[in-house]
A and B are shown apart, each in its own frame.
Chain A
Amino acid sequence: MQVTCNDRDPIFEDGTLAEWAALEAHAATCPLCAEEVRAWKSLSVAAGELRDYSDSPSFWPRIERALAEEAARNPRRAERQGWFSFLPSLSPAWPAALAGALVLILILTLSAAWIYLRRPVDGRGTEDQSLLKSKALKEVESAETAYQRSIDKLAAEAKPQLESPATPLLADYHEKLLVLDSAIAELRAQAGMNPSNAQLRYQLLAMYEEKQHALEEVLETKR
């Protein structure tokens, strides 16, 4: 195999053993390439100076203690994870977030049932303050739409970071936001069926606030 000075960089980048042998043969008669090859190899040798595998005797006991404490602190973790083992395993935050969403849905269902059971039976009675009047409802919906639009802008800004998360923390945020979006969609569907229900609106507002905070924290990591 014959190589020239022009082949030097491609061989440095991704050369095979045979190509390296050919380059060294060429370097034997080319002082410039000989110098370059020597300098290139010396970087690998210099890298050895950054290798320090000396052990610290107290280090493993420290890690072991932390692992044991963590295991003792979360004895139910494995059990909880087992419950959600049918789900795709994304991160440790995913089952917790899903459990939170399920609890939220349960609370909403119970609240709806409670409101239904407490409604005035004779059709007159006192006005239920948890129901919004049509004017107030329009205001709420208008404010909600504006708020949602603002959050969408935040979401668009955070999208590149979330779509290819550079850290486990960002991946967790991504999953949390997916769960929040799912809970928001659920609440919006319920609010659509029962637009005058103020409780649902409060729950929806809380979800939006949570989403806003999560997005702000994601954007904070960028700065």
Chain B
Amino acid sequence: MRLDRALLLHLAVLAALLALHFAAPPYHHSNIARIMVLAIYAMGYNIAFGYTGLLSLGHALLFGAGLYSAGLLVYHGGAGAAVALAAGVLAGGGMALAVGLLALRTAGVAFMIVTLMFAQAGYLTVLYFGAWTRGDEGIVIPQAARTIAGLDLASDAPRYLVALALFAVALLANLALVRSPFGRVMVAMRENEERSRMLGFNPFTVKLAALAVSGLYAGLSGACYALMFGYVGAGLVSVQYSILPLLYVLLGGAGTVAGPFLGALLMFYLIDWASALTDAHQFVTGAALVVLVLFAPKGILGTLRARWLRWLP
């Protein structure tokens, strides 16, 4: 990848996050670790939605595939955290392939409904196998099992640094992907599917590949969540967790590499700030989203790119 201002910008974001490791007060330090894990999820969502134009309402299933395969492997199978992490990534990608093979026969509103239904089926499956998953109550991963290469993911400093390392890999891989020839084809599919077909691209395989990459990201994020925060419960695969990455991406800027992180960061602190202010914090976030859709429908970075920063990937 050539070292230009776009790469430098993203490296600067990573450097700032590393600096925050030393500078941030404990409360924010722990928040940012969680935001980075959620941002990996949102980046994956953005690859499908922002770049390829696949509006999925069922990504919680992919997040959940990573969350539960990592969590259950550690909790019931006694697997190590590294194995669980790898399994979570593969489970997310594999689930995306399986869902995509069926759901990508549809498009638009039908695709939204089909993915939503798949995710609901996943949620109900978690509840149905309550003997293993303990349903809504969930399972707590013992601290002893949450160690990767000698780093205790249950304590603040290693958790932050592992989260940052994985976030960095995910962010730079995302940047490389969208600047690759395949990244151009993903955008082409979003912009004009019929035109792309008549340039020799098979829409089904392009969309399936993008969805699979999206699933790898969601699976990684889900597995990180289980191992770093030690909790795996049905609430994390509910419909709310399909909507969250969509909101992050819309806020930060769909089809921008740094947008998902920015969206996750702002939304997290908006909710945090609003909940301290009022019990009706969802009203505040709702109002913020209405303002966003009315005045900056491209999200923050999308608007910046349209106005001033055309080079922003």
Q: Do A and B bind each other?
A: no
Q: What is B's interface to A at a CB cutoff of 8 Å?
A: none
